[in-house]
Chain A
Amino acid sequence: MNARPDVSDRATGVPHSLTDWLRRSSDPELIALFRRRPDLALPAPVDLATLASRASVRSSIARALDSLDAFTLRVAEVVAILGAGTSSTAVQAWFNEAHRPTVSVALARLRDWLLVWGEDDDLHPVGTVREVIGPYPAGLGRSAEDLFGAVNDIALIALLRRLGLPPTTQPTSGNAAAAEVLRRLDDLIAGSDESERTILDRLAAGPPIGALRNATGSGGTGPLSPARSLVERGLLIPIDRDTVELPREVALRLRTQPAGDVGPQPGEIVASERGTAVIDGGGATEVLEIVRLTEMLLNAIAQDPPVQLRAGGLGVRDLRRLSRTIDVSEQVTALLLEVAFEAGLLSSSTHVDPSYLPTTEFDTWQRRSTSQRWVQLATAWLAMTRLPSLIGERDERDKTIAALSADVERHSAPTLRLQLLRTLAEVPPGQAPSAPDDVLARLAWQAPRRASANRALAGSMLAEAATLGVTGYGAITGYSRALLDAAETGAEQAESNAADSLAAALPEAVDEFLLQPDLTAVVPGPPTPDLQRELGLAAELESTGGASVYRISPISLRRALDAGRSGTDLAQFFAARSRTPIPQALQYLINDVATQHGRLRTGAATSYLRCDDEGLLDRVMAEPALNSLDLQRIAPTVLISSSGISVVLERLRSAGFAPAAESSDGALVSLAADAPRVPARQHSRLARVRSAAIPDAQLSEVVTRLRASERLAAAMTQSTNRVTQQVPGVTSASILELLRSAIRGERTIALGYVDDTGTPSQRVLQPISLGGGMVRGHDPEDPRLRSYPLQRITTVSVLED
């Protein structure tokens, strides 16, 4: 890499290189570029030349091309075909008249993305654009000359004969065949029948290669297959045993638009009018369900915490068990788990064997309103770098991908999700797409290079959106539009807007139920949290949806009593909340269950003390020294204590009694102290990485620094006598020498310096001393003493005064 800027002809204003092109960009343009292609800004480039070479790197170009829509990509491909030095007019010639104005827009976009540089009359594809686009730009094959040139002589002889050309050898034969075929191209095409024409058209649309068994061999004696006949006539050219390719010239002749069948607008999304109320209502139905299911799922997890797999994640069996408990498919359960985890409602415990448990955040979440609860879940889903749809699939080692495991991580997920929702949001409010395929096709147009990989993922994301109530009847709901704004702008206000708009769409909560003689209670709408909690305690939930149906049974009533409700409480609760009178059977049931409840009593005791002699126990009870044992008499001959056996023994002994310890079968035992242990070390939780947008301030700093180094470099080219460059960490003799001479001559130097985060920068220094692996000195504008470790210095140049 050459650190010097290229020399440009400032007088004529024509840029000669990418670096030069960059130098002419304004600060805002550079900032915009960094925003589009963040990988160029991190770590901060030292100077524009570094930036230029980084922008030409294959992986960076690929990433940039990935985010282009189908039309812009096609324009980029045409530029790549035409090669460096082409003009916008030449590019436009590849497109139909109607599309030409949009080509300029696309070219401007390509310049913005730094995939093409140069003025309209001198366009250059940046760096590796051509390679990254692949062997068939714009779906076109190689030229006839190239293709025929690669065919071996023996295979070519038959064709040459058919074309009436003399037998020769390569390269003459190839060139001759190519020229002859191209000359007779129109006749050859006109002479093909319908099935041949179909093949030609398909290959012309791209990609230009097709499979043909034994393509290089002869056609045999029978009637020729259409593909074979095309090969015989030289319209298709075999490129290996089983593949044929359509020459570029043939494709161009067949195409109505040279660049192929690509328009500047994506396909229409056919939508039908549903009305915003219907769409929001449909979504709201799902919202209620999802919030309820999440709560149920997390409660089920708290009841019986599933253990975290050694490799991270939740076992298949646990997933199946949870899905049965909440009565939804495993796919939906997995989605709920991932969303709850992302929303911070679920985490793994830090025990020796970590298991999953709801977090304290779950308790906070439960106290929020339904709409707020949903917004929290939906926001988590939007930003989630995980793809729940992968759960249950097989990974490359044929292992089932577990929920909550690292295998579900995909960094591109949030981008794709946002893109998908944005696509849905393009449909006017109140209309619902008739077929999800239209939406997926639009998405494919927006990012054609990732289309095939994304299609399945986007399909399952659409399904997830429907499950979560982000969409209703296939259309994005009003409140989700607000949420999308929140995700894009990061504004808190938008999030609360979403919650408000959802709250308006949700049916009003119901605070009463209808009791029926068959001991069912029907809540005819979404229950208030309070009602849901109380009724859920006293009755079994049987069916959910628009309403909730509960069945009251002795078991459910007992559960309520176990939770501390009394029989009267329950009777009052039913009487107060029921719109219909309490059936007599229920009253009896409550009484029956309540009278039987609590006849057996239990309590905690750590040890007991028994003695057949009641008098001795009286003495023990009366002994003041034993008060601390907290003795209670539960039967004439039995005392219990909350202290452990060893303490009881010791206190009794010191109070002058002679107790002995016994095992459960009454045998005397001696107690040995337990050897002390500490708990094992904790497993660390999986580290989670997240990509975040780079703040503007940081970007402008990068640009400022670039400009500084440019100025410095410019100054140096005029004044430097020596520039040394080295591999970081190796202090070369020349650097030392240069430094020493600078100290001696009290000269100012420019240092190339890499700081401890690996970010390179340029510093100006008046060195004072050298030693201990450091060079010390001060900035000419700042009298404070600074020191730089020698191993971090990459270049040194002495500046002229």
Chain B
Amino acid sequence: MTDGPLIVQSDKTLLLEVDHPQAAEARAAIAPFAELERSPEHVHTYRLTPLGLWNARAAGHDAEQVVDALVRFSRYSVPHALLVDVADTMDRYGRLQLAKHPVHGLVLISLDRAVLEEILRQKKIAPMLGERIDPDTVLVHPSERGRLKQALLKVGWPAEDLAGYVDGEAHPIELATDNWHLRNYQQQAVDSFWAGGSGVVVLPCGAGKTLVGAAAMAQAKATTLILVTNTVSGRQWKRELLARTSLTEDEIGEYSGEKKEIRPVTIATYQVMTTRRKGEYRHLELFDSRDWGLIVYDEVHLLPAPIFRLTADLQSRRRLGLTATLVREDGREGDVFSLIGPKRYDAPWKDIENQGWIAPADCSEVRVTLTDAERMTYATAEPEAKYKIAATARTKLPVIEAIVDKHPDDQVLVIGAYLDQLEEIAEHLGDVPIIQGSTPNKERERLYDAFRSGETRVLVVSKVANFSIDLPEAAVAIQISGTFGSRQEEAQRLGRVLRPKHDGRQAHFYTVVSRDTLDAEYAAHRQRFLAEQGYAYTIVDADDLRRPL
């Protein structure tokens, strides 16, 4: 028994005591196979999953290394059953291989005939397989590659994909690193993505995911399709690519509701891709319109279902997913991993903050006490209306005003979910501009520009600004209502203020909640993701805030 920093739990989580002298060493040893689940202040939680273990196998680690890391750093004896299970699980990887056959094309090869016999008898898998060429080789239709991999993963016999990727249509792309260079973690992210071929990179908001995308493109040197959440963020991508790479205006096309340009680098929105006309997804053809060498999925946690289905057909192309928060409230993280690829890089938010790449943020929960009348309305409301009543309580207005006043020198974003509430607060703050779903793209751009330039100090936004909007100088975000208990929304909203400030100022993130209501309960749930990333919320009473300091 050593006095290591790691404690192995029977539910296959690993607890890493951060303050332990060996913590860094242990973290490096377990990172390849265990997934970081929570990273609050003192004890980080990793989880051993079959997927994580198989990814480790795919990256060339063997069971012995895993067992050794566990045993070496564990404080207490590691349960024997768990070690056996790790070895068994890892042993299942690679019994089947997807490979390119010189004559027959894509084939599934088994190194263990019993496994092949087993999967040939699986009702869901058998239809994806073609003719049996010899006892150990089965033909696979190239279009089934993704679905087959997904299905094999589900039955616990993950296939090692040796079939490789198509290079796509070559197109010269270089990073224009005149006065800047890739940060360490960005370089690592690109490297491990490239080594793995396809996969997801998880970086906090404001940590420069776009640059990871750009660097991947420079690495691929091929035509690229970039999928983004909305037009505004698409244009941001374009601006960034123009500034940071050798690409020119003519080489980058926009494929959106407004324009339909297909160029060597094409930026398309999820929305236009999933628009249906006469029940058909007309624009999905875009995927086949060019011989893309790389497909980038921005904010991959929002990937809509039709794109999932299509992505399954694109297994021979390199795919890069980018996100800050791989928590899907619909629980489809597994599909992201099997279709886009496994997680290739993940950095805890606090690590990046400590390196100074994102602004340190101070999170506060401001508690407002409802008036008696409001409490009565809340108490007697229908259950489904309760959250809205609590979240949009008028009592919040003066409190929001007080917060805005508290930061006279900062750019402030007020973020909410309910339009009437947004209008109310805009008016209350003295007719500040609002951006919401119905605001035309041109108007949005104008307002954002005004905000960026400092012309507008306070901006009220609906959830359209939840993601991908780059507002470097926003230093204060006030969240006044949200989409129920969505954890990733909370994180994304914090992300709006995390761009490092030119003077290194601290960012402030306020959540205004009505005390003793559903609003407060949802807020607690929303905060979980960030709390697990190590952000500590300070609870402030609204009355204290309004008192002159």
Which residues of A approach B to under 8 Å, CB–CB?
A: 277-278, 281-282, 284-286, 289, 327, 466, 472-474, 507, 514-520, 522, 524-525, 543-547, 549, 580, 583-585, 588, 592, 596
Contacts and interface: CB of A to CB of B under 8 A. Distances in A.
B528 interface: yes
Contacts of B74: 546
A473 B45 CA distance: 26
A801 B17 CA distance: 95
Contacts, number: 105
Given A277-B1, A516-B41, A519-B531, A544 B76 contact: no
Nearest to A289: B10
A284 B516 CA distance: 46
A518 B79 contact: no
B77 A278 contact: yes
B13 A517 contact: no
Contact of A544 (B10, B41, B534, B536): B10
A149 to B, nearest CB: 48
A544 B531 CA distance: 21
B335 interface: no
Contacts of A524: 7, 15, 17, 43, 75
A517 B536 contact: yes
Contact of B76 (A517, A525, A583): A525
A326 to B, nearest CB: 12
A603 to B, nearest CB: 25
Interface of B: 1, 7-11, 13, 15, 17, 38, 40-43, 45, 74-81, 365, 515-516, 528, 531-532, 534-539
Contact of A585 (B7, B43, B539): B539
A522 B1 contact: no
Given A282-B77, A518-B528, A522-B15, 12 more contacts: A277-B1, A285-B76, A472-B77, A473-B80, A516-B43, A517-B41, A517-B536, A524-B75, A545-B9, A546-B15, A585-B539, A592-B515
A518 B10 contact: no
Contacts of B1: 277, 281, 507
Given A514-B42, A543-B11, A580-B42, A592 B516 contact: yes
A291 to B, nearest CB: 13
A38 to B, nearest CB: 38
| Of listed A474, A515, A585, A596, residue having the most chain B CB within 10 A | A585
Nearest to B528: A518
B231 to A, nearest CB: 36
A546 B76 contact: yes
A333 B9 CA distance: 19
B43 A546 contact: no
11 contacts: A281-B76, A289-B79, A514-B42, A525-B7, A543-B9, A545-B13, A546-B15, A546-B74, A549-B13, A580-B41, A583-B536
A75 to B, nearest CB: 40
Nearest to A595: B516
A546 B528 contact: no
B11 A545 contact: yes
Contacts of A473: 80
Q: Which 9 A-B pairs have the closest CB atoms?
A: A545-B9, A281-B77, A518-B531, A517-B536, A546-B7, A546-B76, A545-B10, A516-B40, A547-B7
A594 to B, nearest CB: 13
Given A281-B77, A285-B77, A522 B42 contact: yes
Contacts of A507: 1, 75-76
Which label, helix, strand, loop or mixed, suits the secondary structure of the A interface? Answer: mixed
B80 A474 contact: yes
A519 B8 CA distance: 20
A516 B15 CA distance: 13
Nearest to A277: B1
| Of listed A466, A518, A524, A547, residue having the most chain B CB within 10 A | A518
Contacts of B539: 584-585, 588
Contacts of B528: 518
Nearest to A279: B77
A544 B11 contact: yes
A472 B84 CA distance: 13
A286 B535 CA distance: 35
A512 to B, nearest CB: 12
Contact of B8 (A518, A545, A549): A545
B81 A466 contact: yes
B40 A520 contact: yes
A592 B521 CA distance: 12
A507 B74 CA distance: 12
Given A549-B9, A584-B538, A584-B539, A516 B80 contact: no
Contacts of B43: 514, 516, 520, 522, 524
| Of listed B43, B75, B515, B531, residue having the most chain A CB within 10 A | B43
Contact of A285 (B79, B515, B532, B536): B79
Nearest to A283: B77
A596 B528 CA distance: 23
B457 to A, nearest CB: 30
A327 B10 CA distance: 11
A559 B453 CA distance: 53
Given A507-B1, A596-B516, A517 B11 contact: no
Given A524-B7, A545-B10, A546-B75, A282 B537 contact: no
B15 to A, nearest CB: 5
A281 B8 CA distance: 13
A265 to B, nearest CB: 29
Contacts of B9: 543-547, 549
A314 B133 CA distance: 54
Given A518-B528, A518-B531, A580-B41, A585 B537 contact: yes
Contacts of B15: 522, 524, 546-547, 549
Contacts of A277: 1
B239 to A, nearest CB: 37
Contacts of B38: 518, 520
Contacts of A517: 40-41, 531, 534-537
Nearest to A583: B536
B42 A545 contact: no
A349 to B, nearest CB: 32
A585 B528 CA distance: 12
A520 B534 CA distance: 12
Nearest to B13: A543
| Of listed B1, B8, B76, residue having the most chain A CB within 10 A | B76
A278 B11 CA distance: 21
Contacts of B78: 282, 285
B421 to A, nearest CB: 25
A157 B535 CA distance: 96
Nearest to A284: B77
A544 B75 CA distance: 14
A278 B83 CA distance: 14
Contacts of A284: 77
A737 to B, nearest CB: 77
B21 to A, nearest CB: 15
A592 B523 CA distance: 15
A737 B70 CA distance: 90
Contacts of A584: 536-539
Contacts of B17: 514, 524
A459 to B, nearest CB: 15
Given A281-B1, A524-B17, A472 B40 contact: no
Contacts of B40: 516-518, 520
B350 to A, nearest CB: 11
A282 B11 contact: no
A541 to B, nearest CB: 11
Nearest to A519: B531
B145 to A, nearest CB: 36
A642 B480 CA distance: 52
Contact of B7 (A282, A545, A588): A545
B365 to A, nearest CB: 8
Contacts of B11: 327, 543-545
Nearest to A506: B76
A693 B251 CA distance: 93
Given A281-B1, A518-B528, A472 B536 contact: no
